[in-house]
Copies of this chain bind each other. A is one copy, B any other.
Amino acid sequence: MLSKDLGPEGARGVMVCGEKIFLMRAFGRVNAVQDRCLHRGVRFSARPECFAEGRITCWLHGFTYDVADGKLVDIIAAPGAGLIGKDNLKTYPVQERNGLIFVFVGDMDPPPPLDDDTPPTYLDEDMATEGIARVVNSNWRVACENGNDATHIWIHRESPLIVGGDIALPAGFFIINYEDGVEVIEDTGRKGVISPHGRESHLPCFEPKVEGTPILDIAGKYGTKRVATTVELWMPCGLRVTDFPQPGMTHFEFYTPIDETRHLYVQMLGRKVANEQEAKRFRMEVQALWEPLDLRGFNDEDIFAREHLQEFYQDDDAWLNEQLFQGDVVTLRWRTVCSRWNRGIQWRGPRRLDAHADVARLSTVSQE
């Protein structure tokens, strides 16, 4: 989520990959624990209660935890209970970088470097960033494949950003050379696929025709600025477009899975800056100009596309019924990378079976 959406004393529940997570700032850091009290399972985020910094108290029975390590430190309604200090919430590794809060939900311990899971340059110290986040009703993989699709830009042809911005965005890029037209990066920690739209491997379509007859009067509408010459998609779910929406700017996207049918669509624009004053100016520019024109005006079309793609891809047999073609070579390469480098299926077993055994014992003795 966006840093700015979690205030200085902020607490909030989010869902990532179907897991309910509770985020809370304490002592200047963001902490993440399961958003479910150990006792009777209610969400802390339903009514967050905090009586001491770094402590979250469950609103139902007063179970109180240290959000840093998840330990049960007290039970307000039952001081001295035997369970205190003996159990703890699941915690999640968190990093806050360049305007975003990153939570790692996988099983690896320690988690891989954040660099491996974000597009290049996003974490750079001199990269100023600003953006928005919203929920989109599609599976996140549908979003990934939409992000670096070379021919889908057809849907953006009448966007004010393009029409009014002196920008040269074609109706599509036709890939005429597979060898040169897509790069697969697998030999570093960061894995991904790069589409060099600006190369000769890609034939831009500036005069759209149907069966030979030109359609629309859009040839004349194209501007002079070449943008989006490189589109990169990085595992697990990060997009980087350079330069976009203007020369000197970078457009980043993250498609974070909420659950099977929704993702959090995080859109961040970046520009290299020399100092905090430039960074501040850039953030104001994004809010005033690029949020309405690019992040909303332009990308709203992508949301429309993803939610309609979802209607098709939610069926089990969609992957059999689709009909990919030459233009989808990037998508095929991406699927290969995903299939080869994904981190496996997460462990979701009943972690509390042994704790439950204690309860069974409790019910047969008179006093702990």
CB-CB nearest in chain B for A315: B41
| Docked-complex contact A323 and B62, CB < 8 angstroms | no
| Docked-complex contact B59 and A155, CB < 8 angstroms | yes
Q: CB of A61 within 8 A of chain B?
A: yes
Q: CB of A341 within 8 A of chain B?
A: no
Query: Which candidate, A2-10, A234-242, A277-285, A304-312, is the interface stretch facing chain B?
Result: A304-312
| Docked-complex contact B211 and A359, CB < 8 angstroms | no
Number of interface residues of A (CB under 8 A): 83
CB-CB nearest in chain B for A313: B41
Given known pairs A62-B171, A321-B350, the reply for A73 and B367 (CB within 8 Å) is no
Contacts of A83 in B (CB 8 A): 323, 325-326
Q: Which of A42-87 contact B (CB under 8 A)?
A: 42-43, 46-47, 51-52, 55, 57, 59-62, 64, 73-83, 87
Least distance between A191 CB and chain B CB atoms (Å): 17
Q: Which of A158-193 contact B (CB under 8 A)?
A: 171-174, 177-179
- 6 example contacts (A-B, Cβ-Cβ < 8 A) are as follows A41-B313, A41-B321, A60-B154, A77-B208, A83-B323, A336-B363
Known: A61-B172, A83-B323, A323-B356. 16 other contacts (CB 8 A): A43-B308, A52-B211, A52-B215, A60-B309, A61-B327, A62-B172, A75-B327, A76-B208, A77-B171, A77-B174, A81-B325, A179-B366, A320-B353, A321-B352, A323-B352, A329-B363
